Amino acid sequence: MIADDSAVVRGLLARWLEADGEIEVVRSVGDGDQAVHQLAASGAEIVVLDIDMPVLTGIDALPKLLAIRPNLKVLMSSTLTRRNATISLRALSMGAADFVPKPESVRGVTTSEEFKGELVAKVKMLGALARGGAAKPVSPPTNAVDRLHAVAPRTVQVNLRRSGQTASPQILAIGSSTGGPQALLSLFESLGSKFNVPVVITQHMPPTFTAILAEQLEKVSGARSVEGSNGTVIEAGRIYVAPGGHHMLLRRAGGDVIIALDDGPAENFCRPAVDPMFRSLSQAYGAGVLALVLTGMGQDGRAGAKAIAQNGGTILVQDQATSVVWGMPGAVAEAGFASAVLPLAEIAPKVIGLLKGKSI
């Protein structure tokens, strides 16, 4: 189901989605109230839900939709304003599965291949999740966006790496994507400010959203949290979030470690991406890296985790049961780079123990 107050946008989104061949648009409505009233009869498994609509807004319709169908997958669609970024992140905490940033104008929507690709890919991914891992594997992807977002049911043989850790970590690095904002907030609610090292985070998000995420992390943890900025000397006890649109690298400069933002090509079809950050950390800190790979689509973080593992660092990954999508953590675990695969609730205690010098 598509819920958007623009008839032009609704028609365009419906054509894009149905052109895929594996997606059927069963309803197209102009406000949240219609979405609520037509959900049961429509049989929709996924709702693409605009935020700004008359009668009933997307954020007001969301809990009503989930009350009717608790397993419904809701994809929030919002423009990149600060207000909508805040609402989108709030929607995730209320049960929305994901969000897709929408160009501000109808013309922008009609000409944005990036928006089109992300919309179709996320709807397909949510469809696989809605069916609980369908018996039929997802077909081999035919383009770059699909390669990132394809979700195929699989049984993974996990071979845990023996950690070569001999001292307390010097930095905590985290990579995440789909489901990541909720996982990060839960993690830091448990961690609080109980970390005596710098924390660097790459979460797949556009500009504006990353600034709001940094603010929310500060609220739940009590630790200073900011978007990373070029040339910043990182400090223990602070959180640095990679800003949307830039890779965040860490480099040594004399006795300090500084942030170096990079506007180079996307990696794994993302910018910011986890792999560049992880690689830079392995060079700057060697065995002093403690890395976490949380829920997310694709395999971003796997190549960087290999570099960290080869230099003696430690990598923990979120388990499949507590991940919204076990793409990124699963890729690291399957490759044999993880020292432990843990439920989300067990990661904070493990991190605190490792920071105090306990063994894995």
What is the DSSP annotation of 168-200? --SEEEEEE-TTHHHHHHHHHHHHTT---S-EE
Q: Which of 190, 300, 323, 339 is catalytic?
A: 300
Neighbours of 221 (CB within 10 A): 22
Q: Are 59 and 96 in contact (CB under 8 A)?
A: no
- How do beta strands 46-50 and 98-102 pair? unpaired
87, 196: one domain = no
pLDDT for 13 equals 95
For 255, counting Cβ atoms within 10 Å of its Cβ (0-12 exposed, 13-18 middle, 19+ buried), the class is: exposed
Per-residue pLDDT reduced to its tens digit, 119-177 = 999 999 899 888 875 323 223 333 333 333 333 444 556 777 766 555 689 999 999 99
Q: 3-class DSSP state for residue 239?
A: strand
Phi first, then psi: give them for residue 165, nearest 5 degrees.
Answer: -60, 130
Tell me, yes or no, whether 164 lies in a domain.
no
Q: Measure the CA–CA gap between 55 and 64, rounded to whole angstroms.
A: 14
55, 190: one domain = no
Q: Are 203 and 360 in contact (CB under 8 A)?
A: no
142, 79: one domain = yes
204 in active site: yes
Q: Measure the CA–CA gap between 145 and 35, rounded to whole angstroms.
A: 28
Q: 3-class DSSP state for residue 299?
A: coil
Amino acid found at 301 = G
Tell me, yes or no, whether 162 lies in a domain.
no
CA-based nearest residue to 262, from 254, 253, 275, 271: 271
Per-residue pLDDT reduced to its tens digit, 18-28 = 999 899 999 99
138, 199: one domain = no
Give me the chain's average pLDDT, please: 90
Tell me, yes or no, whether 166 lies in a domain.
no
Query: Which residue, of 97, 116, 149, is where some domain finishes?
Result: 149
Domain count, the chain: 2
Q: Measure the CA–CA gap between 78 and 50, rounded to whole angstroms.
A: 6
Residue range of the domain that includes 107: 2-149
Least confident of 114-118, 156-160, 262-266: 156-160
346, 202: one domain = yes
CA-based nearest residue to 133, from 156, 154, 157: 154
Q: Are 357 and 345 in contact (CB under 8 A)?
A: no
Residue 110 has pLDDT above 90, yes or no: no
Q: Which of 78, 88, 176, 177 is catalytic?
A: 177
Overall average pLDDT of the 251-267 stretch: 95
Per-residue pLDDT reduced to its tens digit, 18-69 = 999 899 999 999 999 999 999 999 999 999 999 999 999 999 999 999 999 9
Tell me, yes or no, whether 71 lies in a domain.
yes
Tell me, yes or no, whether 165 lies in a domain.
no
How many percent of the chain have pLDDT more than 70? 91
**Domain CATH number, residue 118:** 3.40.50.2300
| Cα–Cα separations (whole angstroms), residue 108 to 104, 111, 150 | 7, 5, 26
203, 264: one domain = yes
**Element of type H or E holding 226:** strand 225-227
177, 129: one domain = no
Least confident of 80-84, 279-283, 325-329: 80-84
pLDDT for 128 equals 87
Q: Which of 31, 50, 176, 204 is catalytic?
A: 204
126, 197: one domain = no
Per-residue pLDDT reduced to its tens digit, 218-240 = 999 999 999 999 999 999 999 99
207, 129: one domain = no
**Domain CATH number, residue 223:** 3.40.50.180
Tell me, yes or no, whether 219 lies in a domain.
yes
189, 313: one domain = yes
pLDDT for 157 equals 65
pLDDT for 131 equals 81
pLDDT for 129 equals 85
The widest CA-to-CA distance across the chain, in whole angstroms, is: 65
For 207, counting Cβ atoms within 10 Å of its Cβ (0-12 exposed, 13-18 middle, 19+ buried), the class is: middle
Tell me, yes or no, whether 158 lies in a domain.
no
Tell me, yes or no, whether 360 lies in a domain.
no
33, 182: one domain = no
300 in active site: yes
Query: Which residue, of 101, 119, 149, is where some domain finishes?
Result: 149
pLDDT for 155 equals 53
181, 138: one domain = no
CA-based nearest residue to 159, from 36, 341, 289: 341
pLDDT for 156 equals 59
